[in-house]
Amino acid sequence: MSAVESNLLLAHCTVLDARVVDGADPVPDAAVWVRGDRIAAVGPYAQVAAQAQAAGAVREVDLDGAYLTPGLVNMHTHLSLSLPGTGGDDVKTMGPHDLAYYMADGARRTLHCGVTTVRCVAEKDHADFALRRAIAAGRVQGPRILTAGRALVCTGGHGHESSDTLECDGPVGFRRGVRSQIKAGADLIKVMISGGIAGEHERINTPQLFTDELAAVLETAHAWGRKVTAHAGPAEIIGAAVELGLDCVEHGYQLTPQVVTRMAERGTALVPTLLVTRCKEFFDELGVPEWMQCRSLGAGPRHLESFAMAVDAGVEVLLGSDMPPFWHFEGTNATVRELECMSERIGPARALHAGTRGPVRWLGVEEDRGTVEVGKLADLIAMDEDPLTATSAFRGVRWVMKGGRIARDDRTEAA
């Protein structure tokens, strides 16, 4: 891994920004001056080059007419995912050392896909905190990590079989659960409030928390300045959670017009994870049992309808794959394939927003990332096709920078 370059001029590119949905125009024949780990200038090539050269020696990196965008943000990540089946069993039986290497390899692959920030929403044994420290220290390549630590579940609730969840009961138990994750370093809290597609002894619409338990989670997390996201499927359960102040819904398999209207009014975001109900090849690869495949794939049509309702109601929809971000799937990686599925409904410009600026605003880190602006961290990716014409352009990501470090350059690797 190379050291941070102190003075780089990223030349001959078209700069695209998630602010296009607000009317910002792409900048053709542009340059971005990166000094240290941040963007020092962006604009027409001649103007930025003169500014950079006047400040001292600068090394030019010719991007050969590529389209340059902010790095992608995946808001539903499990680097230690272990679904039912033989593939998941292999991960569950890993010792702590094997798990650390496994997750570090996933983090490197994730970054190379063009994902420069992830939101982890349930990882095993708090290994995510060690991985975050290793990445920050430069010992491991990977994206910036914001994490919920272990997800909170009721006794026997969704995901209880794995060490990426923490069983709690009653308001006092859930308050303690929230505080334990914050003590470990959690940036947000994840809670399972309904059944899902991966629980053999539950249904998608099985309620799993009482009102006083969820209220305790929300009150405690918000008092500590942490947002709460919830694994949730059915409209009735989601609607009640939204009224209590839930910040984000994961999946939302069975929404209704009434519930999405309230989500939009109250600012509750949706990470739809569309791939999880249309990924038979992935399930077959991992040996996922038939009962789970039937439940997942059977939920697909209703899932898409729910997503469409949310979009039409004005709910903020954000990119999140649930599948490991780097996983090769249908000719690309899971992150890009999820974004393509979203784009079919929201279009390429909104998809760019959903994969960059929207997530960082929810995460509260918009001062540092999500757009190509002066002062922002130099988390940037480049591709040869225009992602405002087709989201599939992200399949061609060939150059990745995170914080002034060039993490991937296909031209250099080919040479």
Instruction: Please determine, for residue 220, whether its predicted confidence score (pLDDT) is greater than 50.
Output: yes
**Distance separating alpha carbons of residues 128 and 131, to the nearest angstrom:** 5
Residue 2: the pLDDT is 46
Instruction: Please determine, for residue 19, whether its predicted confidence score (pLDDT) is greater than 90.
Output: no
When the candidates are 2.30.40.10, 3.30.930.10, 1.10.1520.10, 3.20.20.80, the CATH number that belongs to 7-70+371-414 is: 2.30.40.10
pLDDT digits (tens, 9 = 90+) for 261-315: 999 999 999 999 999 999 999 999 999 999 999 998 999 999 999 999 999 999 9
Q: Which residue has the higher pLDDT, 56 or 242?
A: 242
**Mean per-residue pLDDT for 18-28?**
82
Question: Which tokens sit at 93?
Answer: 């039986």
Residue 4: the pLDDT is 54
Range(s) within the chain of domains with CATH label 3.20.20.140: 72-363
Residue 200: the pLDDT is 77
pLDDT digits (tens, 9 = 90+) for 102-123: 999 999 999 999 999 999 999 9
Instruction: Please determine, for residue 142, whether its predicted confidence score (pLDDT) is greater than 70.
Output: yes
Do 167 and 157 form a contact (C-beta atoms < 8 A)?
yes
pLDDT digits (tens, 9 = 90+) for 33-66: 999 999 999 999 999 999 999 988 899 999 999 9
Residue 1: the pLDDT is 42
**Mean per-residue pLDDT for 377-387?**
97
Residue 5: the pLDDT is 56
pLDDT digits (tens, 9 = 90+) for 169-201: 999 999 999 999 999 999 999 999 999 887 778
Question: Which tokens sit at 100?
Answer: 């650390």
Residue 5: phi and psi, rounded to 5, are -75, 135
When the candidates are 3.40.50.800, 3.10.580.10, 3.30.70.1560, 3.20.20.140, the CATH number that belongs to 72-363 is: 3.20.20.140
161 falls in which pLDDT band (50, 70, 90)? confident
376 falls in which pLDDT band (50, 70, 90)? very high
Task: Quote the mean pLDDT of the chain.
Answer: 95
Chain centre distance of CA 203: 26
Do 110 and 120 form a contact (C-beta atoms < 8 A)?
no
Residue 197: the pLDDT is 81
**Distance separating alpha carbons of residues 404 and 415, to the nearest angstrom:** 22
Note the pTM of the prediction, 2 decimals.
0.95
